[in-house]
């Protein structure tokens, strides 16, 4: 019997305080090693969010 929980928790324990959040669905896309807690906004790879991003770009 193998236990993979250790791997999962090791990833969470990295001290990346900056988080990248999708503007559309608020999914955390990734983390950044920043000095203090910071939020960055971007777009995730979901088709629905990319469509919205495209629509906004076309309005410019
Ligand atoms: Zn999204």
What does the CA dihedral 22, 23, 24, 29 come to, rounded to 10 degrees? Answer: 0
Length of the chain: 60
Q: How far is the CA of 20 from the centre of ligand 1 (A)?
A: 11
Residue 23 belongs to some domain of the structure: yes
Task: State residue 9's pLDDT score.
Answer: 56
How many domains is the chain built from? 1
Short-list 37, 15, 12, 39, CA closest to 28: 39
Residue 19 belongs to some domain of the structure: yes
Q: How do strand 18-22 and strand 28-32 relate by DSSP bridges?
A: antiparallel
Over the stretch 2-59, which tens digit does the pLDDT of each residue have? 566 665 555 555 678 999 999 999 999 999 988 889 999 999 999 999 999 999 889 8
Domain that holds residue 51: 15-58
Q: pTM of the predicted model, to two decimals?
A: 0.63
Q: How far is the CA of 45 from the centre of ligand 1 (A)?
A: 7
Task: State residue 60's pLDDT score.
Answer: 74
Task: State residue 56's pLDDT score.
Answer: 86
- Are the CB atoms for 26 and 48 separated by under 8 Å? no
Residue 42 belongs to some domain of the structure: yes
Task: State residue 26's pLDDT score.
Answer: 95
């Amino acid at each position: 019997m193998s236990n993979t929980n250790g791997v999962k928790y090791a990833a969470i324990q990295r001290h990346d305080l900056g988080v990248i959040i999708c503007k559309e669905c608020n999914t955390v896309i990734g983390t950044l090693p920043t000095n203090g807690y910071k939020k960055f906004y971007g777009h995730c790879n979901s088709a629905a969010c990319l469509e919205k991003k495209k629509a906004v770009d076309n309005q410019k």
